[in-house]
Amino acid sequence: MDDLNVKNQPVLKQFVPTPPRPPHKSERGILGTIRHRCFNSIGNSLLTLCVATVLFYLVKHVLDWAVFNAVFIADNRRQCMDISPDSACWAGVISWFNGLIYGRFPVDEQWRVNIGVLLGLVWLLPLMSKRIPLRNFILLSWIGLYPFVGGYLFLGGRFGEELGLVHGAMTCLALAFLAIIYANWILSALGKKGLNELFVPLVSRLVERRIHLLSFVAVWLLVALVIASGLSQVSLEPVPIERWGGLFLTFIIAGFAITMAIPVGVILALGRRSKLPVIHWLSMTVIELVRSVPLITVLFMAVTLLPIFLPADMEFNKLTQVLVAVCLFAGAYMAENIRGGLQAIPKGQYEAAATLGLGYLHTMVLIILPQALRMMIPNIMTSFISLLKDTTLVSIIGLFDIMLMARNIANDKDWVGMHTEPLVMISVLFFILCYSMSQYSLNLEKRLKVDR
């Protein structure tokens, strides 16, 4: 608008800044830059040389140890030592690789873990496409339904026997939902109506309101029944939770913490911002208490106090206790992030929502929370990264996550005393995971800034 006005007035000249002068000849080009920034004074030159020398020897030694002199094929640690005594013995890590990833999950059943993880990723894939309507529901369905499918695949068992009826039914519903998502995606790409519209003509004759919803439910139930009849024919070998381990268990704990952190955090943050004194004080107490104690004490508390404070006939395995603790812990930290976002929302947004006649719930869900969460994405990602790192703590209370599996290699009779290589290997793994998460969050931050 302003630009147009300016152009229409012939009197005003547009301001054209003088282009900056090019840098001095000695500072141009790569060599110039290096000279200008690394060797511009005696002190700086010395510093550069020192750092370069240290860096050279560091990189050389690390590469010698980890790659050039390392042993990749050997039967035990003694052989490794014979071949090359002062360098890495990756053969041990390679022979334990399966254990590091799957823990003590039976080898014949490990395909189920792969399928389960793959299914989880496939479920989230439609989120990438902007074509699909109601993408938030896919995320919600993932949070609400995927755990049942995962639980079925990882635990195994027959429907109605080892596997509870409710769990079985939910698994079928979840798989049916996934099938409908994909069918709709394909159909919409072909330009046809979604699968959930299948019964619309039929339903519209029977009832007047909520035709689309009822049609969707009918299709969903039908598909679920088909899947149930299929699944009841197969039976998966039951795998007790105690045998879960390795990176797989780390992912389960981290994934659970990450997915539960947001809902718990939102509830606690809204509670803390509430004007009702009871709710405000309760939320604040919970947040502050949990945030001021170390995670390891919360884990100890879950493992030792939950059995005391809950009825004797309620039996929990260690994983459930840990998940409860991690969920509480993650929620309290997330609540503070979300509260920061809530505080940054201008008062006008609340007033505008009130003017439109929205109640508390609608104001929050439709107006405030989407903005607050978006604003806090970098902090939320930082919390997720530290949650992923913190999952290693469960090894202290004896869950066989990747950390404990890695430490166990040193107790194997073939690889006695091999500490360094497994630790380096999982360090690199965590580094890759966390670094890519932080880079993704930076990327997301930039993209959202452009959007606004």
Partner 1 sequence: MIQSSTSKPQKSPTKGTGLPSSTTQKWMFLLNNDSSRAVILQAIVLVLVLFGLWFLFANASENLNRLGMTFGFDFLQVTAGFNISWSLIPYDPGMSYWRVFLVGIVNTLILSFCVIVVGTLIGTVVGILRLSDNPLVSQLARWYVEVVRNVPLLIQIIFWFTVVFSTLPAPRQSYHLGEWLFLNNRGLYVMTMESTLSWGWIVALGVALIAALYGLFRWSKPYYTLSGSRSTGFYIGLAVWALVACWAIWTFLNSTSLSVPSLQGFNFSGGAFLPASFGAAFVAMTVYRSAAIAETVRAGMQSIDRGQHEAAFTIGFSRVQSLRLILIPQAIRSIIPPMTNSWLAATKDSSLAVAIGFPELVSVFMQTSMNQTGRAIEIIFMVMGFYIFISLLISYLLNKYNDSVQYKVR
Contact set with partner 1 (CB under 8 A): 37-38, 44, 47-48, 51-52, 55, 275-279, 282, 289, 291-297, 300-301, 304-305, 307-312, 358-362, 385, 389-390, 392-393, 395-396, 403, 407, 410, 419-420, 423-424, 426-427, 430-431, 434-435, 438
What tokens were used for 274?
A: 């509430």
Phi then psi for residue 317, to 5 deg, are -90, 170
Least gap, CB of 102 to partner 1 (angstroms): 20
Least gap, CB of 105 to partner 1 (angstroms): 22
195 or 409, CB closer to partner 1? 409
Q: What is the largest CA-CA distance in the chain?
A: 89
94 or 410, CB closer to partner 1? 410
Alpha carbon of 97 to those of 70, 89, 408, 412, 426: distances in Å? 17, 13, 12, 13, 11
246 has which bridge partners?
Answer: 401
83 or 306, CB closer to partner 1? 306
Least gap, CB of 66 to partner 1 (angstroms): 13
Sign of torsion, CA 200 206 209 214? Answer: negative
10 or 311, CB closer to partner 1? 311
**Which own/partner pairs from 161-166 qualify as long-range (CB within 8 Å, at least 24 positions apart)?**
162/238
40 or 129, CB closer to partner 1? 40
| Residues 387, 392, 393: CA angle, nearest 5 degrees | 95
Looking at the chain, how many residues does it have? Answer: 452
237 or 351, CB closer to partner 1? 351
Please check whether residue 212 is in contact with residue 88, taking contact to mean a CB–CB distance below 8 angstroms.
Answer: no
227 or 385, CB closer to partner 1? 385
46, exposed or middle or buried, with CB in 10 Å at 0-12, 13-18, 19+?
exposed
220 or 300, CB closer to partner 1? 300
Least gap, CB of 38 to partner 1 (angstroms): 6
Least gap, CB of 11 to partner 1 (angstroms): 34
Least gap, CB of 14 to partner 1 (angstroms): 27
Sign of torsion, CA 391 396 397 399? Answer: positive
- The gap between the terminal CA atoms of the chain, to the nearest Å, is 19
Least gap, CB of 341 to partner 1 (angstroms): 17
Least gap, CB of 425 to partner 1 (angstroms): 10
What tokens were used for 299?
A: 């884990």
Least gap, CB of 128 to partner 1 (angstroms): 25
DSSP 8-state assignment for residue 133: S
d(CA 245, CA 100): 8
212, exposed or middle or buried, with CB in 10 Å at 0-12, 13-18, 19+?
middle
20 or 359, CB closer to partner 1? 359
Please check whether residue 447 is in contact with residue 115, taking contact to mean a CB–CB distance below 8 angstroms.
Answer: no
